[in-house]
C-alpha cells in the first residue's frame, strides 16, 4: 500500500512539474536572440516586427508557413516544435479548445526564447495548431515501416500468407505481446526493440531534435510519449487484420481511447512493479539510447 501511494505521488508530482515547465533550448538558454558574433550559418538575423508579415498571397489552401517573412517563420518553426513537445508529453489528441490554447502558449514561448515581439493573428495560430495531425501522421508512417519487417508480416495474396498474417495480428495483440521483448513468450513488457527504434526515429533523429533539446520533458522519456508510440504501432498492426495490409486512419475516433488505455496500463504496471522500478528504468533507457 505504501509503495502504491508513493508511486502515485511521484507520477502526480511529475505531471504537475511537466505541465508548468518553461521551454528552453538544448543549451538551457532562452529569452534572448543569439549575439551578433555567433555563427548564423551565413544568414543575417531576421528583423523582429510588431505583426506577422505575409510576403505571399495565400492560395485556396489558406495561409501556410512559407507565406510569411523570415522573422515570422522563425517564431512559427519554434512554436510548432514546442507543440510537438506538448503532444508527446501531455496529450497526443487535444480537442479544438486545447489546441487553440496551446497554439498561443507555444507562440508566446517561442517569442520569449527568440526575443521577438509580435502580435499573432488567427492565421498564424491556426498554422501552429493544425500541425498536430502532421506530427501524429509522421509517427504512424514511421511505425508502419518498422512493423512489417519487425514482426514478420508477409506481403502477398496467397491463402497461406493471409492466414499467417491474420494469426500474427491476433497473437501480437493478445496481452500486449507486441510490446514485449519476446512477443511469443510475452515476457519483458514494454521492452520490444521496435519501441526504441520508433522513439529514436521520431524524437532523437539528431542533436537538435526535441528529445535531446528538451531534457526536462524527455529525460526520462514521458509516459504519454510511450503510449503514443504503442498506439502508432498498434494502428500499424491493425492494418494487417484481414491478412493483406490496408491503411487504417490514425484518428482520434479510432485511436484516442486506445491511447488513453495504454497510458492507464503503463501507470498501473508502474505501480505493480514499483519495487523493481521497471517502468522508470524503461523510460530512462529510451531517452539514454535515443541520444
Cis peptide before 220 (omega within 30 of 0): yes
Q: What is the pLDDT of residue 59?
A: 59
Q: Where are the beta strands (DSSP E) in 177-268?
A: none
The model scores a pTM over 0.95? no
Rounded distance between C-alpha atoms, residue 132 and residue 267, angstroms: 24
Percent of the chain that is helix, strand, coil (3-state, to 5)? 65, 0, 35
Phi, psi of 288 (to 5 degrees): -60, -45
Place of cell 503532444: 87
Rounded distance between C-alpha atoms, residue 154 and residue 176, angstroms: 21
- The alpha-helical segments, DSSP class H, found in 51-116 are 70-89, 96-114
Give me the residues of the chain with pLDDT under 70, please: 1-51, 53-61
Q: What is the pLDDT of residue 6?
A: 44
Rounded distance between C-alpha atoms, residue 4 and residue 2, angstroms: 5
The SS3 assignment for 254 reads helix
- The alpha-helical segments, DSSP class H, found in 90-187 are 96-114, 122-129, 131-151, 159-173
Comparing C-alpha atoms, which of 30, 38, 72, 32 is closest to residue 52? 72
Do the Cβ atoms of 4 and 274 come closer than 8 Å? Answer: yes
Query: Residue 220: how many CB atoms within 10 A of its CB?
Result: 20
Rounded distance between C-alpha atoms, residue 20 and residue 17, angstroms: 5
Q: What is the pLDDT of residue 272?
A: 97
Comparing C-alpha atoms, which of 274, 286, 138 is closest to residue 226? 286
Place of cell 539510447: 289
Rounded distance between C-alpha atoms, residue 2 and residue 149, angstroms: 44
Do the Cβ atoms of 96 and 67 come closer than 8 Å? Answer: no
Cell of 178: 507486441
Q: What is the pLDDT of residue 46?
A: 56
Comparing C-alpha atoms, which of 27, 6, 19 is closest to residue 212? 27
Amino acid at each position: 500500500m505504501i509503495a502504491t501511494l508513493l508511486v502515485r505521488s511521484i507520477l502526480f508530482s511529475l505531471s504537475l512539474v511537466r505541465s508548468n515547465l518553461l521551454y528552453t533550448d538544448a543549451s538551457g538558454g532562452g529569452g534572448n536572440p543569439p549575439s551578433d558574433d555567433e555563427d548564423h550559418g551565413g544568414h543575417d538575423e531576421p528583423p523582429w516586427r510588431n505583426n506577422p508579415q505575409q510576403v505571399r498571397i495565400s492560395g485556396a489552401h489558406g495561409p501556410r508557413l512559407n507565406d510569411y517573412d523570415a522573422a515570422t517563420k522563425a517564431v512559427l518553426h519554434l512554436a510548432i516544435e514546442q507543440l510537438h513537445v506538448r503532444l508527446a508529453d501531455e496529450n497526443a489528441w487535444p480537442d479544438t479548445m486545447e489546441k487553440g490554447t496551446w497554439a498561443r502558449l507555444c507562440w508566446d514561448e517561442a517569442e520569449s526564447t527568440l526575443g521577438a515581439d509580435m502580435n499573432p493573428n488567427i492565421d498564424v495560430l491556426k498554422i501552429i495548431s493544425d500541425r498536430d495531425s502532421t506530427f501524429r501522421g509522421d509517427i504512424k508512417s514511421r511505425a508502419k515501416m518498422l512493423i512489417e519487417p519487425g514482426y514478420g508480416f508477409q506481403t502477398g495474396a496467397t491463402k497461406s500468407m493471409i492466414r499467417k498474417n491474420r494469426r500474427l495480428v491476433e497473437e501480437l495483440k493478445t496481452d500486449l505481446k507486441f510490446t514485449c521483448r519476446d512477443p511469443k513468450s510475452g515476457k519483458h513488457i514494454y521492452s520490444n526493440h521496435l519501441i526504441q527504434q520508433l522513439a529514436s526515429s521520431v524524437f532523437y533523429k539528431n542533436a537538435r531534435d526535441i528529445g535531446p533539446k528538451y531534457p526536462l520533458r524527455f529525460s526520462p522519456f514521458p509516459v504519454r510519449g510511450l503510449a503514443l508510440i504503442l498506439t502508432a504501432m498498434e494502428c500499424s498492426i491493425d492494418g494487417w487484420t484481414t491478412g493483406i495490409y490496408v491503411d487504417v486512419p490514425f484518428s482520434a475516433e479510432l485511436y484516442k481511447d486506445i491511447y488513453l488505455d495504454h497510458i492507464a496500463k503503463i501507470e498501473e504496471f508502474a505501480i505493480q512493479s514499483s519495487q523493481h522500478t521497471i517502468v522508470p528504468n524503461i523510460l530512462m533507457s529510451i531517452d539514454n539510447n535515443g541520444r
